[in-house]
Structure 1
């Protein structure tokens, strides 16, 4: 075995930076809780550190990944960390046997169900279903190929344990290394120092000046009174709630400072000042009325939408009818005029027929005489017209 010398200040600084900046995980190893890191992430961390940047007159300590690996081998030899081996935990034989038995039972049940179902299905439906399945499978494969960034199904994380590795060498990759170096962080050191100073100051309270002692006394009394008042308020609000609840028969729920004991901030615990709820028969009726009114409003809105749709459809049909009847409007008017004339003629003929049936022979002779007179007058008129025209 080679003798390992003490680490230098630079090596301690690099190891400390790596310990607090490289991402680590914790697990159990040989019955102890340990922190481990992955080699590739440690190399990336050191390449982003201040030692990878060149200073004035000095070269950078880390220039390539190989230089980082060589330096980490030095840290490993000086026992800042050591290499470990991941060993996956195997499931016990009992669990595997149970799973096999469950699988057999399930397969038997499925076969029984299939035998009970009707076997006489058409071949066409089977072929169509197979085609649809093939199409769906092709679509899914194409989608997966097109969108490689889609979230995959959650894979079950297999449990593993760490064991010491025989070959203690630092390699750049997914190798696991367990931390041995565990320095105290500055924050924990500062908090411990403050705590120690506070304890020493409290023990030296009799030696404080009189003014400081009086001030601390009043501060402690004020803090005690504030805590006592909060406790009294919490009890008083419960008593007030019970009194109002008993007097009103459980109908009125009144809470003073409802958020006083809730898990909220200091200011939010004092607001709102109070809350009041009425839980009587009228409240139930109001709730029912509100629900019914909401239902009626929904029903009315649905009816309005249906009526509006019908009106729109009627308007469209009327417009189409008007556009179709504009061209044949003149023909219809002419037809109606001719029909009216025919009706007038038929009425006139029917009237004349009735008069002919009621007229006697004497009346007929008189009508013929009158007709001759009228003809003579017309002839005279015609003879007189040309004479006037000549003049």
Structure 2
């Protein structure tokens, strides 16, 4: 990603302002995907176009003016060329849960199209990254100096570590109990019952404990092809609830002779019609 960062550094200041605004202040829907094993934020192109056409963007200063969808697409194409985001293709979900992120794959041919999806390569402010790194170094340094801590701080650290170990042990105990309960219910009351079914799903911390329990029913999915096939096989008249009309019998060619009228078409309604047949006079 260093090459993308270098390319972003060469972008004009107004493009950086637009990218930062779209990234954090535009209010567009942020989606989470998995790219090369890492969680990345991505968005849909049409959402970015709407954001550039919104009144909030019009109030910004020192940014390119956007008055039409064509101008918005041109500006976003320039941001794409500078590596602020890349065009990707969405794949399957990582897990079977509803909120599971999808896998992302970078498309070799880059272009900005509103219906497509784009992954953000613009990271946060470098200042925050540097402050986070300094904080980690400070924590490690404080741990090394543990023997020099005052007695009260060491006692507090001891109780804190015991509490964390207790939470970890509780987590392992809950995992074992839910597995035993699932096996028992699967043998007695099939299908099995899961406690905290999303405990190991790729979701947030609080979502891992919702719902409290769930039966392990198999999910049935009806393919779209079968639905279309059923509609295609069904006759139009039967689909509307009407009885199909009786077929009209074809008139054989042998019954139509010169000088004779063809036989009448039989009626299916029970009403008979009379007709007059003219026979030509003999030449004699």
Give the number of the structure whose residues are more often helix, by fraction. Answer: 1
Regarding TM over 0.5, the answer is no
Higher RCO (CA-CA < 8 Å; seq separation 6+): 1
